Each structure stands twice: as structure tokens, then as C-alpha cells.
Structure 1
Amino acid sequence: MIGIGFGPSNLALAIAVEEHNAQVAPSAALRVTFLERQERFGWHRGMLLDGATMQMSYLKDLVTLRNQASDFSFVSYLHGQDRLVDFINHKTMFPLRHEFHDYLEWAAGRLDHLVEYGSEVVDLRPVTLGGEIAFIDVVSRRGGGPERTEVRRARNVVIAAGLEPRTPDGIGLTERVWHNHDLLDRVGAMPSTPRGRFLVVGAGQSAAEVTEYLHSNFPRAEVHTVFARYGFSPADDSSFANQIFDPTAVDDFFHAPDKVRAMLLDYHRGTNCSVV
């Protein structure tokens, strides 16, 4: 198996593979490699804002819902950092995003032997036997040069390449037009000219966090938000609506007809990142 990308999704898969292989005979072990375009592990580094918290319980970590005895859990991470008692005393289900990123890095560091960083997948080529696809050749490139491509053959490929930044039609990213994905890096590299006004486009969770960050760090500047609604919409984080994220809901959604999928997405839109 080859995994494309090594964010939280494929990181959780890597843990599952590692735990599976530890329990079976070597002949039954899975052979797996993950290819990651970044040079090191990182998850939304540009939005690791001070004070920003996760929107989900720490129990929805990389492993707990699948294996409660795993030593890759967030609780095991806290214990290893000598922070378990402090976290309990903090009386929260929602850790800081900084701390959860540190947890992800901690887990990824234990699986370095399964990952090749700096490897960008550029092509997938089906290999047919008897008229059916039997394997997939995964073509990757290191260092940006076409002469350094490598081909690996796998029975299974898991694509978890993450999100790509989007901008409104006709708007390109420049020195002064950014995507929030790169916020902290861009702010740090801003020209030294007066910073009198910022414009934030969007009304979701990230837009609200960016707006609050700019107000706090540039108190003399005007900060405007522009969006199609009359105001920010609060997230529906009730236990009823959040059942859409339950493990059993995955199968419901996967097997549902397209119309039902669209209906579920519309009904539960207020639970995710488009709201605050």
C-alpha cells in the first residue's frame, strides 16, 4: 500500500498499520510507504494562532475510537510530556491547536520509518492483468527535477493529499493578497509600510479567527470582514447535529444515493468550518 500525503488522515492509517503489523507474523505484515510533498510534518502551520482551540474533543484523536489501548492516543502523548495532570486540571475537552499539532508531530515522529518526506506524487499509472487493473504504479519526484522520479508498484493507493487554497474568481495571491493558510508566514514577511487597513473575505471559522488575530495584533488598524451573509453564523455543536461525524455515519453517507448525500451535507452544514 502507498499513501499519498501524510496529514492527520494518513497518519492515523499509518498507526493502524503499525499496530496491525505488531500483532501478526512477519509474513502477514502489511508493506506500506507514505509519500509527503512537505519536507517535514506540518498541519496548517500558518493558522496555529495563540489561543485557538480545536473544535472537537481530544478523544477524537488519531486512534482512540479505534483502539482505546493504543499508546498513540492524545492521553498517552500528554503522559509522555508530563502534562496529563495539568490538562485534566484545565477542565476542557478541546485542547489548544498548538498542543494538538504538537501531538500530531509526536505521533508522526514515531513513524518516520514509514514516510518519505520531500516526495511529490506526479502520476498514477494502472497496471492491467487479464484486462483488469491489478496494480498501480505510483510515480513520485524528489527535489523538483524530472530526472529524479521514482516508480513504486502497489496493490492499493490511499490518497489523502489535503486541501488546496482557493480564492474568489479573478483574484490571485500576491504580496498583499493571501490565503489564511499562510497567515502567520505572510504577516511576518509584510512590507514595513503603514498597516492601516485589513480586509478579510469569508465568514467561516478561519475568517473569524483571522479577524480576531488582526484586531489583537494591529489594534490601530481597521479590520473589515466581507461576506454574503448579514453576520457570522454560530456553529451547531449540539450532540444531535454532531452525530453526522459518528463512525456509523460514515457508512450511512457512503452508501447513500447522491440526493441523500446532498441533503445530509445541507442539513449539517452548520456543524463545520463554514460557521464560527
Structure 2
Amino acid sequence: MEILDGKVVSARIKEDIAKEANDFFEVTGRKPHLVAILVGHDGGSETYVASKIRNCEKVGFKSTLVRYEDNVTEDELLAKINKINDNEAVDGLIVQLPLPEHIDPEKVTAAIDYRKDVDGFHPINLGRMMRNLPCFIPATPYGIMLMLEYYQIETEGKHAVVIGRSNIVGSPMSILLARNSNPGNCTVTLTHSKTQNLPDIVRQADIIVAAIGRKNFVTADMVKEGAIVIDVGINREESSETKSGYKLYGDVDYEQVAPKTSWISPVPGGVGLMTIVGLLKNTLKSAKGDIY
């Protein structure tokens, strides 16, 4: 059993990003600029955004955090997005999800200029990804593909089972693994909460991507010997054992599953770190005009 170590991979890729960002600054006199909008005080969102801002600074990006209280109106938020869209000094814009119930996340996502949509959620970017055209790939699937590439994981001809069909992870992940590329060229089964005989399907997988958002959902009896397991789950539970007051669990029962695998990603220390890398690479590409 080998570890798909997000700490190792992200550190190595961030070194390359920092060098490219420095070269960009020397040529243009400015740093790649990411703006993050955070609405409310959700604990997970606070943590994620703080990590994104911190990592921007580490690689030599400029970052701006725009904060709103939970009672911000949808119109006010959309007006701010439009203003940032028009700001040529901004290369990337993300709006941290989830949003309060009175704000439509689909409307917010569509309002972001797709040329600054470094999270890769805009319908234009998702559509271009479907057609295998240049685009901003959703940050988490992008990070996973970078991890597979780093460890030279053989994917061609393998049966990949993706658990979870969200537009953020599951659906784009299934597309990326299936398309004619390296990594890629998998035969992909996309499963979800309504899939019948799910354990039987997962047991057939050479590669499992668990992104269903349920603690320890994938158990040892669902995994065949030698499978590659990628755990996307980040399930927070209160804990007196940690300084933060909470503990993270994946969608995979790591202790029981890991001995059966050839490769497995831990939580924390796996895919979450690679999501940040995907976001940084998209922002750098936006600044350099490599996509649009």
C-alpha cells in the first residue's frame, strides 16, 4: 500500500507555480490576483478561504478577501461580482459555497465571468470541458488529475467507479477520467445515492473516487485487493482532541480499507491540498492568458 500524499505533491507543484508567478511579475510588473468572496461565518468555509488566501501569498499571488454577513442581498452580491468582472487587475474570482438559502448559487455561479472562473464551475467552462476544449477545470478534479500524473498512476483501460455525481467533483471527475488523455482513458461508472447494488459495483473498480460526503461510507468489503482509492470526502465532526475543536474524516474507512489498496489518499493530507493547487494553477493560467 502506497500513499497518494497531497502534502508532497502540492509542495512540489507550488514551487513551480511560485517560479512562474515570479517570472510573470518580472515581465508585467504585477502579481496574479485572486479575489475570494465569503458570505457569513460557516466554519468550513472560513477554513477553506483562509487556506486559499494563505497559499496565494506563499506562491507570490495577490489575494483579496471580500466579506459579507449572512443577510447580504442577492442583488448586492451580484452587483459586487459584476464590478469584479470589470476589474482588469483581477485574474480569478471565487465565491465560497455554501451560500445562505435566500441566494441562488446557480445565479451567482453564472454571474462570474467565465474567463475569471478559476473554480471551474461556470456552465461555459463545464461545457468546454465536456468538449475537451481549453477551459478552467473544476479545482478538485483538476487537483486529483495532477496527483495521478505526479505518481504516474496507470489509468488507461482501468475501470473507475466515481461515487457521487455533484457538478463540483463527481460529474467532472467522471468526464476527465474517461477522456482520451493521460491520465484518462478509463471506463467510468458514475454512481450516486440512488444506484442499486452500489457495493457490488464498487467492488469491480480498479480506481475508486469517493465523493459522496458521508463519513466512512466506503468500507473494506466494498474494495477489491489492489484497488486505487481516492478519498474526496471532508466530513467535519466536533472533537476535544484537536486545537481546532473539530476532526476531519473522509468518505473512506481509511484504517480498514488502506491495507487492501495499492494506492490510497488520506484525509486530511490528500485531495484537499490538491484542490488548492488546482485553484492556483487556474489563477496563474488566467493571469497569463493561457486559456482565454
Is the helix fraction higher in 1 or 2? 2
Q: TM-score range by the shorter chain?
A: under 0.3
Higher relative contact order (CA 8 A, sep 6+): 2
TM-score normalised by the chain length of structure 2: 0.27
Whichever of the two has the greater Rg, that structure is: 1
TM-score normalised by the chain length of structure 1: 0.28
